[in-house]
């Protein structure tokens, strides 16, 4: 069973990630203006188009992006089924290294340029080099869990800010809705790739522990003594050091790409949230911040956390892997349009007439 402390361990990092995105969007124009950087996977940029035209263009853009996600997920499931763990491990290392170096440096440059802070390139290189090395060691080898958690939050925020630069606003809202539907299909339906991934792992007795996943517990990588046996018939003894990380093969046996909260009686008590959930939560809040006022932003934040709370309650009741996006995304979208169309106008009218509630 999970308690309130376990829920807080997930709420706090989600809120921190959303807060980072909100502060960047509010203070850096490139994340909030209508200018969209050209990208090969964004066919239509929705510039100066009619609402109906923007709508169908946004569906095409979002459909293409979700299609890429589906193909990538199925490819990873195939590699997992074929036990190509080292190929998966190399792919994840390459992707994480690219995010921590190239993509992160681009966002750091935009932030430093906006705040007009003179810095030494040598100093930035040394600091960033140490951060990347420490982050890679914490994720893929050994290191403090706090460092791993901080790294995953930073990576989520960087990806979110990059998406906000590349995606038009209408495409973003359409993408959020479609990805929530895909999350349901991928995790809950028998033919869903993530459902298949979980079933294969349970059938083989593999430990389903994704590399890029946020854990609220330091005991995520531990197993109970005598709980499992490896394929050679030797028992897997528990690891009592909270800083240990799984080997490449063990880590990649569970590349559950993004967004499922999972629990198992065979694992230590821990709520695990996919990195994609952080990204799409923050993308919703960031888009709301860019297109509306503080009241709407706050309403979206509260709605997302409320939806996550409902998902955790269902997790305790159903005792199976659940998608973390659908409820929170639905709550967030409803809160955004409801606040923008009704609550914001009401607050402005109250302020104009000096009415206190």
Domain limits, the chain: 4-222+239-352
The DSSP annotation for 144-186 comes to -HHHHHHHHHHHHHHHHHHHHHHS-HHHHHHHHHHHHHHHHHH
Contacts 24+ apart (CB under 8 A), 97-100: 97/132, 97/136, 99/155, 99/158, 99/159, 100/131, 100/132, 100/135, 100/136, 100/151, 100/155
Question: Is pLDDT of 218 > 70?
Answer: no
Question: Is pLDDT of 17 > 90?
Answer: yes
Confidence (pLDDT) at 331: 95
Distances (CA, A) of 232 to 159, 235, 244, 348: 40, 9, 22, 69
Confidence (pLDDT) at 3: 65
Question: Is pLDDT of 212 > 80?
Answer: no
Confidence (pLDDT) at 214: 55
Residue of 6, 183, 199, 293 with catalytic role: 183
Confidence (pLDDT) at 193: 86
Confidence of residue 22 (pLDDT cuts 50, 70, 90): very high
More confident residue, 239 or 340: 340
The 10s digit of each residue's pLDDT in 70-83 is 998 888 888 888 88
Confidence (pLDDT) at 208: 53
Looking at the chain, which runs of residues are DSSP E strands? 213-215, 260-261, 272-274, 322-323
Question: Is pLDDT of 238 > 80?
Answer: no
HSE value, Cβ hemisphere, 13 Å, CA-based, for 17? 31
Residue of 6, 206, 277, 293 with catalytic role: 277
Q: Which of 48-52, 103-107, 246-250 has the highest mean pLDDT?
A: 103-107
Any idea which residue has 């979980």 for tokens?
198
Spatial distance between the Cα atoms of 226 and 346, rounded to a whole number of angstroms: 61
More confident residue, 63 or 355: 63
Percent above pLDDT 70 for the chain: 76
From the number of C-beta atoms within 10 Å of its C-beta (0-12, 13-18, 19+), residue 108 rates as: middle
Is 183 assigned a catalytic role? Answer: yes
Residue 255 near residue 80, CB atoms below 8 Å: yes
Confidence (pLDDT) at 217: 40
Confidence of residue 280 (pLDDT cuts 50, 70, 90): very high
- Which residues lie below 8 Å from residue 203, measured CB to CB, with a gap of 6+? none
Is 116 assigned a catalytic role? Answer: no
Question: Is pLDDT of 112 > 50?
Answer: yes
The 10s digit of each residue's pLDDT in 287-336 is 999 888 888 999 999 999 999 999 988 888 888 878 889 999 999 999 99
HSE value, Cβ hemisphere, 13 Å, CA-based, for 66? 22
More confident residue, 309 or 194: 309
Report the chain's mean pLDDT, rounded to a whole number: 77
The 10s digit of each residue's pLDDT in 153-182 is 988 999 999 888 888 888 899 999 999 999
Question: Is pLDDT of 231 > 70?
Answer: no
pTM (whole model) above 0.85: no
């Amino acid at each position: 069973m999970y308690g309130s402390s376990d829920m807080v361990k997930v709420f706090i990092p989600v809120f921190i990630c959303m807060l980072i995105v909100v502060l960047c969007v509010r203070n850096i124009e490139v994340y909030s203006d209508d200018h969209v950087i050209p990208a090969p996977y964004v066919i239509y940029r929705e510039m100066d188009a009619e609402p109906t035209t923007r709508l169908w263009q946004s569906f095409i853009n979002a459909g293409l992006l979700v299609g890429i996600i589906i193909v990538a997920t199925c490819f990873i499931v195939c590699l997992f089924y074929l036990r190509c763990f080292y190929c998966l491990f190399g792919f994840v290392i390459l992707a994480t290294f690219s995010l921590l170096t190239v993509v992160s440096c681009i966002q750091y440059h935009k932030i430093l340029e906006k705040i007009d802070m003179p810095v030494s390139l040598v100093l930035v290189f040394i600091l960033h080099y140490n951060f990347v090395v420490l982050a890679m060691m914490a994720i893929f080898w050994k290191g403090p869990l706090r460092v791993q958690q901080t790294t995953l939050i930073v990576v989520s925020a960087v990806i979110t800010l990059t998406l906000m630069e590349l995606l038009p606003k209408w495409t973003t809202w359409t993408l959020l809705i479609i990805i929530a539907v895909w999350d349901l299909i991928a995790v809950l339906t028998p033919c869903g790739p993530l459902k298949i991934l979980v079933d294969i792992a349970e059938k083989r007795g593999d430990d389903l522990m994704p590399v890029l996943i946020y854990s609220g517990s330091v005991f995520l990588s531990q197993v109970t003594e005598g709980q499992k046996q490896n394929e050679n018939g030797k028992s897997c003894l528990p690891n009592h050091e909270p800083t240990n990380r799984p080997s490449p093969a063990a880590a990649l046996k569970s590349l559950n790409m993004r967004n499922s909260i999972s629990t198992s009686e065979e694992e230590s008590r821990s709520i695990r949230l996919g990195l994609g959930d952080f990204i799409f939560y923050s993308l919703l809040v960031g888009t709301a911040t860019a297109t509306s006022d503080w009241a709407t932003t706050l309403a979206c934040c509260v709605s997302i956390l409320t939806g996550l709370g409902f998902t955790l309650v269902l997790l305790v009741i159903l005792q199976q892997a659940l998608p973390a996006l659908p409820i929170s995304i639905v709550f967030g979208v409803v809160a955004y349009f409801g606040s923008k169309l009704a609550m914001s106008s009401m607050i402005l009218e109250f302020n104009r007439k000096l009415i206190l509630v």
